[in-house]
Amino acid sequence: MCGRFVRFSSPETFAELLEARGVLNLVPSYNVAPSESVLVARNGEGGGRELALLHWGLIPYWSKGPRTPYSTINARAETVDTKPAFQHAIRRRRCLIGSDGYYEWKKLGRTPYFIRLKDAAPFAFAGLWERWERGEERIDSCSIIVTDAAETLRDIHDRMPVILSPEHYNTWMDPELADPVRLKPLLAPYPSELMEAYPVSTRVNSPKNDHADLIVRMSLPPTGDIIAP
């Protein structure tokens, strides 16, 4: 799963990476949490990609209200084309969600880990978005697709967000492509050899904490308790 991530690269950096237009007034966040605004690139109504800020936690267009009784921050790759909340979005409203890394908690001991690309480059999660409208109220929201964890990360958690390689951006965002059978092969674990993970402070457990120290590497003594380096 993916329930917390990091985004500190500038909107301009993501605009270039994701080939999207627009400059947003956005401050870095080292602890992006569900229900907050996340930076996405989506297909614009006039063609091309645009940057936008979307509510994290997809609200299906058919929902009676803006609150859902179940979590939609993540969509499982295996069932994304059959679950009612996502089956429209996978065909018509895909997006790229900008990130510099994400957190995962090891099941044994609940130790938090920061996971990123080895070269520390920014990247994009495979995402879905929807527009919910009732009268004058409108909410654009999104979900991060998750899949099986890469081999080297399975000791931490058995799931991970889908990280798309830049060479797959155009396919994922192709507005003419609506067949999930052709899209789902992209929703695979990112290569293990290109990623790294290390333990970080338990201060990340609270979304109220949001500062660069959260991604500082910590050490794990034999007891498994985190201590600062």
How many other C-beta atoms lie within 10 A of the C-beta of residue 22? 13
- Amino acid identity for residue 182 in this structure: R
- Amino acid identity for residue 176 in this structure: E
Beta bridge partner(s), residue 27: none
Question: 142 an active-site residue?
Answer: no
For residues 96 and 111, is the Cβ–Cβ distance under 8 A?
A: no
For residue 69 the two structure tokens come to 């009784």
Question: 95 an active-site residue?
Answer: no
Residue linked to tokens 């201590």: 227
One of 104, 130, 142, 196 is an active-site residue; which one?
104
Q: Is 138 exposed, middle or buried (0-12, 13-18, 19+ CB in 10 A)?
A: exposed
Contacts of 174 (CB under 8 A, 6+ apart): none
Four-residue CA torsion sign, 63, 67, 69, 75: positive
One of 2, 95, 130, 196 is an active-site residue; which one?
2
C-alpha to C-alpha distance for 123 and 16, rounded to whole angstroms: 11
Sheet architecture: strand order including 29-32: 29-32, 5-7, 101-105, 112-117, 195-199
- Could you tell me the maximum CA-CA distance found in the chain, to the nearest angstrom? 58
Q: Report residue 171: phi and psi, to 5°.
A: -65, -45
Q: Which residues are catalytic?
A: 2, 104
